[in-house]
Amino acid sequence: EAMGMPRPADAELRTYHGRAVSAREVACAASHRRAWEGGLATGHDYVLFLEDDASVAGASGEVPSAADNRRGWARAWGTLQRQASLLAARGVAWDLLYLGRHRLACDSAAEGEALVVPGFSSCAHAYALSRRGMRRLLELPLQSAAMPVDELLPALYAPHPRADVAAWAREALRGTDPFAAFAARDDLVHQLESLSDDGKGNWPGLPSWAQLARSDIRPDLPPPTQPPPDRHRRRAPEPSSLPAAFAPNWPAADAAA
């Protein structure tokens, strides 16, 4: 309510914010951190980060053609380029720019028609970071907290509904400004799991992310003879293979998930 949205049901709050961090989420956070390091090393002014289930497929229930996929990704990348150039021309420094997200609080207006200043939002399947944003993320004391990137990013620019995460973010940003965040007014990239009916990446009549990727990369490939393995059941890496920043809070009981 304090963030301008109706209060979620208690069960929903417990599901998303009242549980321990899973091994899968720690491993995913480690992957994002390594990607930030790689992105910063490129020397580019900004870098777009995509998770493996990011897609420009809409919610129509139809599999996009290879041409539609190419047009969708060209639109997403072109929008990012144009908006980054406009922000630079106006002298606006930014850290984070979402191309797709789950809105959990009210947005604020931003200059132009394509961007908004996001309220608290979830999901990190498609976001860009400026060089400053990548550097600031890598300078955070992540050794003191292991959390999903979906929760970390919004905690750096908006009040987090979980008190301990909000307190950690305030301390981590002490002496600096909150992250300067923007978001595409309309989602340009979607998370396939969020388009499903059952929350597990399954659509009645809509194929898996692997089939969508195949229509984009190799439209000549025949359909698989067996369904692709459930990506959620892949074994997480052992704690010793994770960066030290993520190892201390590794939930050993869930390591085989």
pLDDT digits (tens, 9 = 90+) for 117-146: 999 998 999 999 999 999 999 999 887 777
Closest among 206, 203, 209 to 232, alpha carbons compared: 209
Mean of all residue pLDDT scores within the chain:
75
Of 34-48, 104-118, 185-199, 211-225, which range is least confident?
211-225
More confident residue, 239 or 208: 208
Rounded-to-integer distance, Cα 64 and Cα 198, Å: 21
Strands in 96-98's sheet, in edge-to-edge order, are 46-50, 126-130, 96-98, 181-184, 115-117, 108-109
- Model pLDDT, residue 136: 97
pTM attached to this predicted model: 0.72
pLDDT at 80 over 60: yes
How far, in Å, CA of 139 to CA of 91, rounded?
A: 24
Residue 60 C-alpha from the chain's centroid = 22
